[in-house]
Amino acid sequence: MSKLHRCIVIGASAGGVEALKQVAAGLPGDLAVPVFVVLHISPWSPSLLTEILGNVCPLPVCCPQDGEEIRGGAVYVASPDHHLLIEGGKVGVKRGPKENGFRPSIDALFRSAAYTCGAGAVGVVLSGALHDGTSGLWSIKQLGGTAVVQHPDEAQFDSMPLSALEYVAPDYLLPASEMGTLLGRLAAEPLPAPAPIGPDAEKLLAAEVAVAAGEVAIRQGIMEMGTLTPFTCPECHGTLTRIGDGPLSRFRCHTGHAYTDSALLAAVMDSTGEMIWQVVRSLEEGIMLLSGRGTSLKEAGDPVRAEIFLSRARLLEQQSKTFQKAAVEHGRTGTDNGGQKSES
């Protein structure tokens, strides 16, 4: 299998379509390196991103098949509910575990680029919420690659660019409209010198790329590559291991699901909210059953027994109101603006 030496990988989430269009429109028509794009999209709906970018990009744009040979000058777009990976000289389209609740994952693509291309990888973080892309961009920089970040002031959702800037020193910070020209220039430059990487870091990177491709995390030794925590995975309830990417802390479970601190908090808050509403549902079902039984006894001429059931229904009703209030307050506590800049 031929090895890819240079690639451009781009990640976007909320508010990222317009930014991607600007980047794609600015790419040179004679670009010789492949471009890989991950946008967080619904797993249940077909993606229109290939058509959207194809209308403005001078290069061919496609959703690749697993195992497809990588062609220079092509733009590969991730399919819904599949990770997009670089595997030597071929494209990987895999259904490995979700990262930060997403599949496709920006981090998974970026790590595969770092692992395959080393210093020849160029990572681009665009508009989006939370932290996806930061860990992968950190890996690209660790191996000598180039980090490009959309300026937060012009990103519709600035959380992803701000997160990248917090943990990774970017080589370029600029508007999306200027990135196409920059990427064309970077692709034409000589390959940067490779950066040394320690054996433990290389082993972890290889393992995480394999997990994204569908390999079982525990068999890749993930649990021994970090520190065990008392936390459990919101997705599968497996034990979470804390992994460090320099100053960035992440979590991965033994089946492979991965989270940043903020993504784990969001998932835990969502899970807690769901459990509270399940209690409310159970209490409301009890109220209906007790009220129905009490009404039937009252109509049958047994008011004493009827009152026993009706009083229990009233007690459950008070409990239900308490839990409903808790659920509403919990929802307010766990809700923010999703990384979108305020209008104030």
Distance between terminal CA atoms of the chain? 54
Q: Which of 136, 168, 188 is the last residue of a domain?
A: 188
Task: Please tell me whether the peptide bond between 60 and the residue prior to it is cis, using omega within 30 degrees of 0.
Answer: no
What confidence category does residue 37 fall into, taking pLDDT thresholds of 50, 70 and 90? very high
pLDDT of residue 1: 42
| 176 and 293 fall within a common domain | no
51-102 confidence digits (pLDDT tens): 999 999 999 999 999 999 999 999 999 999 999 999 999 999 999 999 999 9
What confidence category does residue 340 fall into, taking pLDDT thresholds of 50, 70 and 90? very low
| 167 and 223 fall within a common domain | no
| 18 and 146 fall within a common domain | yes
Tell me, yes or no, whether 199 lies in a domain.
no
Q: Edge-to-edge strands of the sheet including 35-39?
A: 61-62, 75-77, 35-39, 7-12, 121-125, 146-150, 172-174
What confidence category does residue 334 fall into, taking pLDDT thresholds of 50, 70 and 90? low
Which active-site residues does the annotation give?
13, 40, 132
Q: The tokens 């508007």 sit on which residue?
A: 175
227-247 confidence digits (pLDDT tens): 999 999 988 988 999 998 778
166-184 confidence digits (pLDDT tens): 999 999 999 999 999 999 9
Q: The tokens 């100053």 sit on which residue?
A: 247
Q: Which of 205, 226, 256 is the last residue of a domain?
A: 256
116-140 confidence digits (pLDDT tens): 999 999 999 999 987 889 999 999 9
pLDDT of residue 2: 56
| 158 and 289 fall within a common domain | no
Enclosing domain of residue 273: 269-333
| 80 and 142 fall within a common domain | yes
341 has pLDDT over 50: no
- On whether the CB atoms of residues 140 and 108 are closer than 8 A, the answer is no
The enclosing domain of 106 has a CATH number of 3.40.50.180
| 63 and 172 fall within a common domain | yes
Listing DSSP states for 10-42 in one string gives EEE-TTHHHHHHHHHHHS-TT--S-EEEEE---
Q: The tokens 């697993």 sit on which residue?
A: 66
Distant-in-sequence, close-in-space partners of 265: CB < 8 Å, separation ≥ 6: none
- The domain total for the chain is 3
HEC profile of 90-130: EEEEECCCCECCECCCHHHHHHHHHHHHHHHEEEEECCCCC
Structure tokens at 3: 């090895």
Secondary structure class of 180 (helix, strand, coil)? helix
| 32 and 129 fall within a common domain | yes
Tell me, yes or no, whether 195 lies in a domain.
no
What confidence category does residue 331 fall into, taking pLDDT thresholds of 50, 70 and 90? confident
Average pLDDT, integer, range 313-320: 95
| 36 and 129 fall within a common domain | yes
Mean predicted lDDT score pLDDT of the chain: 91
| 20 and 108 fall within a common domain | yes
- Return left, alpha or beta for 67; rule: phi > 0 is left, psi -120 to 50 is alpha, else beta: left
| 148 and 19 fall within a common domain | yes
| 236 and 273 fall within a common domain | no
CA dist., res. 141 & res. 144, Å (int): 5
Cα 233 to Cα 81, 97, 236, 272, distances in angstroms: 19, 12, 6, 13
What confidence category does residue 218 fall into, taking pLDDT thresholds of 50, 70 and 90? confident
| 144 and 63 fall within a common domain | yes
pLDDT, greater one: 24 or 274: 24
